Each structure stands twice: as structure tokens, then as C-alpha cells.
Amino acid sequence: MKVAIFLEAYLTFTNGVRTHVETLKAGLEKLGNEVLIVCALPGIKKHILKDGVLCCPSIGLKKMYNYGMAGPINFRRFKYIKDFKPDVIHIHTEFGIGFSGASIARLLRIPYIYTMHTMYDDYIYYVAPKKLINIAKKTAHFYFRLLAKKATCIIGPSFKAENFLKVCGVKKNIDIIPNSVELSLFNECSVSSQKKQALKEKLLLNEDDVVACFCGRLGKEKSVDVLLKNWSELVKERANYKLLIFGDGPCMGELKSLATHLNLSRNVIFLGKIPHKELPPYYCLCQFYITASLSEVHSISMLEAMSTGLPIFNIYDELNNVQIKEGVNGFIYKNVFDLKRLIYSFESMNEEQKKALRKSTRESVLKYGEEDLARKVLIVYEKALDIYSKKRQAKKRANI
């Protein structure tokens, strides 16, 4: 099957959507399919096709990490896609490139599949003043509803994504396909003890330190400020607790200031942006992963941490409580008192118990490999082709 996948950021920006698409592409190609990636790239003046990636001229949005926004309509782009002759188009973004993919699918008379990745209500503040947030939400919901209505099939990585689409007014069926993880890359067995020791020395970590981590965009929606406040309560009783924060974002400066204000200079290490392929050794320095974010749909960062054997301490989220299984791959807390109790209980486990927990944590994500993802998505592609074909035949009969 030939698949054209549309997303805004691919070559210059790393986020969950890009990681998901990279994994999907790898899985589809392993199963014998041909994939063309269509993405935005700030700074170029004409479309560039190279190594199966079509880069489209776009404007860099400085407020959103220089995220590229491409124009939704372009004849040159249409010509490239038409020459590729895709069987289906799969859009992973709602903006310029995504709209372009939906439009091209209609022109080529092929189905398009729409995957909703993001709880956009948590991100509206990036683009709308506070006074206009409610209006912006209503406008965004209307647009998502329209995009979903025209799609032949819709995919969501969790029931939380499905619920968000329902809130937007989408009434169609949504296929739930969880995100995936590169199991071979995120595997503590692939990281040498020498590499771990070198990193430990570089970060000045001691043998008796209890090390946790968080990985993600440092924006308001990730609630890293809440995480820091919780951590400050923990270290009052455990001075050897260290928190590694991987990632960058608009709140980096204020979060560093908050950490200083909370006297966490020795207990929190901001490591900034780490290339995706270089993350595993850092995870292997840690005993667990911790988050206070309520904006996750189906966190890839958590999957990657679990794949390296790290149990997750995840804040309670009524709409997204299926990723963590208590005592199997992590623990769920509702407040700082819960968190203290759970972490101190975890710390008191003997080595055999911790080893068993790491093992069950890793095993809990083995079903989320790249080929597993591709097979599930291919089923939706086949379904979309069937639905689209039947609709076209019905229209022909109606016109006779």
C-alpha cells in the first residue's frame, strides 16, 4: 500500500506526534508498504523532495518553538502527491499541512484518515489572549468537527482523545490505537554500564541518590511547576532525592527560578533538550519517572520510560487512567501526600521486588512495538478504502 502521511513538524522539531509518525513509518515499511512524509519546514522557499520526505515552505512561529506553519493550498505540493499516487492519505495535524492533506485527498478521490493527537484546549493560550480563549476554543472545536466529519476514518490514541472529539461535537466512530515505542532503542540492556557511569559522574550523582525523571515540553500545560512543588515536599525528608528534567520550552526560565525559590538547586537538574536517540542512557540512570501533567492523551515519553523499566508515578487523570496499572508498571497519586506515601513505599522495596517491578513495567509495553502499531493502522486503512469504495458506488447508482 502507498501511504502519504501529513504532519506539520518532522525534520526540525521533536514532539510526540513526530515520534509517533517516525515509528509508524518504520513499521509500515517493515511490512512492505511505501510511505511519503509531507511536512512543513521553515526557511525554505520551494518544495523539496528527498529520501521519502516532502518538505513544504512554511513560516516559523517563534511563540511555538519555531513550529512551521505551511499554507494549506499549493499546486506544486498537489503535483508531488499526485505523482506519488497514494492509496490513502493520513493526516496527523489540524493546521496548514493537515488541511492540505484533506483537500488533496478529495481532489484525488481517495480516503483520508485523521488522527487526533492533542488536547488542544490545554494549548489555546499559545495563540489566543486570555480574554479570547473561550471564543478560540469554540472556533477550534468547530474546525476539528469539520475536519473529522470529512475524514473517512478517525483514530485516537486513547479514550481521552475520543472524549475530546466528542466534546468538539464529532459523532463518528473513533478507532482507538495507542501510541507505540521503539522497544529496541528504549531498552536498558542496550546501554553499557560504562555509559551509565560516565553520565552519572558528569551529572555528579552519588551511589545513594534516588533519581527520578520527567521528559517533555516545558510549557504551562505540562504542570512542571506542580511537579517541582511536590518534589520540594519530598526532599524535605529525603535530601538524596534528585529529579532530572529533560526538555525545553517557554517556561524554562520561570521553572528554573521556581526551583531556586524552592531551594531545589541541588535536587533538580534541568538538562534541556536531549536528542531522542540519546535519551535511553539518561533513563537508565533513574529509578522511576514522575509527572503531574493532565494534558497527556497517551504519553510516548511515559512509554519510553517504561520500556527502559522505569515505573511511572502519574497524577490521577479521570479521562486517561488506562496507561498505568497500579503495582504493575507504576502508581497513581492524587496529591502530594499520596505521592510521598507511594514513593517512600517504593524506596523501601528490596532489590528483588524492584527488579520484578522493572521487569513487569517493561513487559507492559511490549505490545506497543512499531510493527504492532503499523498492523493496527493498516486495518483502519483497509476499512477506509472499503468504506470509500462503497460510498462512491452508492453515488454512482444514485446518479443512474
205-232 mean pLDDT = 96
Find where cell 511547576 sits: 225
The confidence band for 318, taking pLDDT boundaries of 50, 70 and 90, is confident
Output the pTM of the full model: 0.88
User: What is d(CA 174, CA 52) in angstroms, rounded to the nearest whole number?
Assistant: 29
Show the domains of the chain with their CATH numbers: 2-180+369-399 (3.40.50.2000), 188-367 (3.40.50.2000)
What are 172-202's pLDDT values in tens digits?
999 999 999 999 999 998 899 999 999 999 9
CB of 71 closer than 8 Å to CB of 101: no
* Residue 380 confidence (pLDDT): 98
- Up-side HSE of residue 298: CA atoms within 13 Å toward CB? 26
The three three-digit cell numbers of residue 35, written as one number: 510511505
Write down the pLDDT at residue 62.
Answer: 57
Residue 378 cell numbers, joined = 493498516
- pLDDT confidence band for 139 (50 / 70 / 90): confident
pLDDT at 67: 60
Once rounded to an integer, what is the mean pLDDT over residues 45-68?
78
Mean pLDDT over residues 210-237, rounded?
A: 95
Mean local confidence (pLDDT), 16-23: 90
pLDDT beyond 70 at 107:
yes
- At 128 the pLDDT is 67
Pick left, alpha or beta for residue 354 (phi over 0 → left; psi -120 to 50 → alpha; otherwise beta).
alpha
Share of the chain above pLDDT 90, in %: 72
Mean pLDDT of the chain: 91
The pLDDT tens digits for 230-283 are 999 999 999 999 999 999 989 999 999 999 999 999 999 999 999 999 999 999
CA distance 200 to 190: 17
> In the chain, what percentage of residues exceed pLDDT 70?
96
Confidence of residue 214 (pLDDT cuts 50, 70, 90): very high
Q: Virtual CA dihedral for 125, 127, 129, 133, nearest 10 degrees? A: -60
Provide CB contacts within 8 A for 184, sequence distance 6+. Answer: 190
Here the cell at position 205 is: 550523582
pLDDT given at position 137:
83
Report whether 109 contacts 25 (CB < 8 A).
no
Q: Is the pLDDT of residue 353 over 90?
A: yes
Selected residue with higher pLDDT from 37 and 217: 37
Q: Which of 223, 224, 219, 250 is nearest to 62 (CA)?
A: 250
pLDDT at 399: 72
- 53-74: average pLDDT: 73
Mean of pLDDT values over 287-295:
96
What's the confidence (pLDDT) of residue 201? Answer: 95
Element (H, E) at 37: strand 34-42
Query: Given this model, what pLDDT does residue 3 score?
Result: 98
> Is it the case that residue 63 has pLDDT exceeding 60?
no
Look at strands 67-70 and 53-61 and give their pairing: antiparallel
Q: How many Å apart are CA 383 and CA 111, to the nearest integer?
A: 10
**CB-CB contact of 156 with 178 (8 Å):** no
50: left (phi over 0), alpha (psi -120 to 50) or beta: beta
More confident residue, 18 or 71: 18
β-strand pairing of 112-115 with 88-91: parallel
Q: How confident is the model at residue 209 (pLDDT cuts 50, 70, 90)?
A: very high
Torsion of CA 180, 183, 186, 192, to 10 degrees: 180
pLDDT of residue 122: 72
Please tell me the distance from the alpha carbon of residue 368 to that of residue 217, in angstroms, as a whole number. Answer: 23
pLDDT at 140: 82
